[in-house]
Amino acid sequence: MVRILAATDFTEDNKPVLDFTANMVRQTGGKMYLLHAVDPCMMDAAGSMAADDMLGGFCTSPMVEDIPENTVLAMADKRAKALAETISQKWGIPIYGKAEEADDIVECVHDFCRRHNIDILVIGNRHHSLLTSILLGNTAEKLVRAAKIPVTVVPCGPKAK
């Protein structure tokens, strides 16, 4: 059975990655995995973020500062599982959803691939501006360069068709 991982950031821009992966899994009869890497900086800075901004409004507390760090990760994990269930029902395929803390997103994704014997990684590329790519780097490019398994890059964002 082919195991395919879709890395997600929970944004609407990432929907093409999830649909592409689900379609590939349905065609191959494999299993889909969904991973969201939670940056510890997000958990450290959570006190300064309004709850509606946190995880796309998933949080219900008035201020995220009232929520312990491990709960931010737990909320993201709950959201990953709910998203996996939604996609599973839509496409009629088995999906495992998970959120994990990631000091380094690239390392987290590739470690997940090793631990779960993932055969193919599917990621999105948002086509950031040149300045953003220079200053922050491009996570998709870093994931591809560090990969030991095949990686499929799906165009995302407003310019994707």
Structure confidence by residue, pLDDT tens digits, 2-19: 999 999 988 888 899 999
Q: Is residue 160 part of a domain?
A: no
Number of independent structural domains in the chain: 1
Q: Is residue 68 part of a domain?
A: yes
Q: Which domain holds residue 131?
A: 3-155
Please give the residue that has the higher pLDDT: either 155 or 63.
Answer: 155
Question: From CA 69, how far away is CA 6, in angstroms rounded?
Answer: 25
Q: Is residue 161 part of a domain?
A: no
**Above 90 in pLDDT, residue 51?**
no
Beta strands in the chain (DSSP E): 3-7, 31-38, 95-101, 120-125, 151-155
Q: Is residue 30 part of a domain?
A: yes
Residue 56 amino acid letter: G
CATH code for the domain in which residue 30 is found: 3.40.50.620
pTM of the model: 0.77
Q: Is residue 122 part of a domain?
A: yes
Q: How many other C-beta atoms are found inside a 10 Å radius of the C-beta of residue 68? A: 10
